[in-house]
């Protein structure tokens, strides 16, 4: 994570939302051996760090499905849809997000 994103996430004034789709993607990558979460309980970490869970709703799913296909990653499409509908900032270094109408921080 970039320095600006780290500062924003660490700031007491920031409400940090963690999408269910992020946890889902991490869990899949961990099960495939593509990343190592070192036994960390990701869901537990959300509460321990006083972050807020962002569930996937039907409204989010409909918006994600209607997005233009700038790329074909369904996880990223959901994050973009959630950010747009909930007026949130996406913390990402993925430049594909710039093609959408979302605020990006890295």
Residue 70, pLDDT score: 87
pLDDT at 82 over 90: yes
pLDDT in tens, 13-69: 999 999 999 999 999 999 999 999 999 999 999 999 999 999 999 999 999 999 999
DSSP 24-80: HHHHHHHHTTSS--TT--HHHHHHHTT-EEE---HHHHHHHHHS--SS--HHHHHHH
What are the residue ranges spanned by the domains of the chain? Answer: 3-105
- Fold of domain 3-105: Rossmann fold (3.40.50)
């Amino acid at each position: 994570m970039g320095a600006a994103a780290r500062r924003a996430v660490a700031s007491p004034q920031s409400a940090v939302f963690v999408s269910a789709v992020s946890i889902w993607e991490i869990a899949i990558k961990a099960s495939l051996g593509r990343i190592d979460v070192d036994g960390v309980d990701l869901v537990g970490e959300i509460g321990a760090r006083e972050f807020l869970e962002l569930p996937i709703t039907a409204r989010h799913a409909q918006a994600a499905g209607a997005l233009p296909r700038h790329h074909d990653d369904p996880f990223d499409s959901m994050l973009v849809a959630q950010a747009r509908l909930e007026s949130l900032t996406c913390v990402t270094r993925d430049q594909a997000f710039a093609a959408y109408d979302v605020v990006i921080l890295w």
